[in-house]
């Protein structure tokens, strides 16, 4: 197989032996793989892959077709279109995935779009639905809404019947976010004026939460899943107490195989049908060939993007 590797913070595309599946696993012939902020951190040496996953091949998500079945995998078929969150190794032509972590790609979805679904929508679903318990009629403030997870969160909130307010660095993507279902779209400078919210989905970190925490309604919930603008913020503890609010955080990469299987099952049952009928869609910003991975990482690191950056295997 061909794989992106990280060595001394440098990216290379090299030949590696094609992996074989262990018991309960499958091998995906990867057609597309999404880039995520964690990949840039891993390149810099700050976010190593969990034990058991490739340590030098980045990539937290991929999509393609099943090429090989491990022992005991009887409910899946060769050639079946699938996507998955992985602990590492997604940016390659082949990737080993636990069979119970697979998401099933609808026929209506392109191979390119499929590569950007698993991480963004699973992360947003886990934060909004499983952690924040977002309900119809509630208002949710989503920072970093122009990114892949933010755009997914806007759509999931809308599908639930909640009122999503999208927050961005500037106003260039406000119209597009409203088209995805945002009730309002504001810049960071305007967050203080949006009124009371029931849930804050924090993808930016200190620059946003320092202001947004003051908007929480009674029994409000904050779920932190990104800290790009800083990981330290002064929290108004008295305000949290008086509102009886909840502050929590979430990551997916290092969770157990069983935990990830439970989340995948929920995403397959609750989100994939909405993906199939077009209620949910992956916003694709740009695609790059796997061999042009250096350009992809450089592009990802620039501000102002809307949606997912994807590596494509021709």
- pLDDT for the residue 295: 97
Q: Render the burial of 291-301: b for 16+ CB within 10 Å, e for the rest.
A: eebeebbeebe
Residue 228 has pLDDT above 80, yes or no: no
Residue 41 has pLDDT above 80, yes or no: yes
Beta bridge partners of 189: none
Residue 229 has pLDDT above 80, yes or no: no
- pTM for the structure as a whole: 0.94
Q: At what angle do helices 257-270 and 118-125 cross, to 10 degrees?
A: 90
- Of the options 3.40.1110.10, 3.90.180.10, 3.30.300.30, 3.90.950.20, the CATH number for the domain spanning 2-117+253-312: 3.90.180.10
The pLDDT tens digits for 97-148 are 999 999 999 999 999 999 999 999 999 999 999 999 999 999 999 999 999 9
The pLDDT tens digits for 252-292 are 888 999 999 999 999 999 999 999 999 999 999 999 999 99
Tell me the two tokens of residue 90: 């997604």
φ, ψ (nearest 5 deg) of residue 26:
-135, 160
Q: Which CATH architecture has domain 120-249?
A: Alpha-Beta Complex (3.90)
| CA-to-CA dists, residue 54 to 12, 32, 230, angstroms | 15, 18, 28
- pLDDT for the residue 313: 96
Tell me the two tokens of residue 171: 């106003």
The pLDDT tens digits for 52-109 are 999 999 999 999 999 999 999 999 999 999 999 999 999 999 999 999 999 999 999 9
Percent of the chain with pLDDT over 90: 88
User: Could you give the CA distance from residue 91 to residue 108 in angstroms, rounded to a whole number?
Assistant: 24
- pLDDT for the residue 314: 79
| Rg of the chain over all Cα atoms, to the nearest angstrom | 19
| CA-to-CA dists, residue 140 to 9, 66, 119, 129, 163, angstroms | 37, 37, 20, 12, 6
Average confidence score pLDDT of the chain: 95
The pLDDT tens digits for 156-212 are 999 999 999 999 998 999 999 999 999 999 999 999 999 999 999 999 888 888 898
Sketch the domain layout of the chain as residue ranges: 2-117+253-312, 120-249
């Amino acid at each position: 197989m061909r794989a992106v590797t990280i060595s001394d913070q440098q990216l290379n595309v090299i030949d590696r032996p094609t992996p074989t599946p262990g018991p309960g696993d499958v091998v995906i012939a990867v057609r597309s793989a999404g880039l995520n902020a964690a990949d840039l951190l891993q390149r810099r040496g700050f976010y190593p892959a969990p034990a058991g996953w490739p340590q030098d091949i980045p990539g937290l998500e991929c999509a393609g077709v099943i090429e090989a079945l491990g022992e005991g995998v009887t409910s899946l078929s060769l050639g079946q279109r699938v996507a998955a969150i992985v602990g590492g190794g997604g940016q390659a032509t082949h990737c080993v995935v636990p069979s119970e972590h697979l998401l099933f790609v609808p026929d209506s979805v392109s191979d390119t779009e499929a590569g950007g679904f698993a991480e963004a929508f699973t992360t947003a679903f886990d934060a909004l639905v499983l952690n924040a318990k977002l309900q119809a009629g509630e208002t949710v403030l989503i920072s970093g809404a122009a990114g892949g997870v933010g755009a997914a969160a806007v759509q999931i909130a809308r599908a639930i019947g909640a009122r999503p307010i999208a927050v961005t660095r500037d106003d260039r993507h406000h119209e597009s976010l409203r088209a995805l279902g945002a009730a309002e779209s504001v810049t960071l400078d305007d967050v203080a004026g949006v009124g009371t919210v029931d849930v804050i989905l924090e993808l930016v970190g200190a620059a946003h939460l320092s202001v947004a925490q003051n908007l929480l309604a009674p029994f409000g919930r904050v779920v932190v899943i990104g800290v790009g603008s800083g990981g330290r913020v002064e929290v108004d503890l008295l305000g949290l107490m008086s509102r009886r609010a909840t502050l929590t955080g979430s990551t997916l990469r290092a969770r157990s195989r069983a935990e990830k299987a439970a989340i995948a099952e929920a995403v397959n049952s609750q989100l994939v049908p909405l993906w199939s009928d077009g209620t949910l869609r992956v916003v694709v910003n740009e695609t790059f060939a796997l061999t042009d991975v250096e350009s992809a990482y450089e592009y990802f690191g620039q501000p102002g993007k809307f949606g997912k950056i994807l590596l494509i295997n021709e």
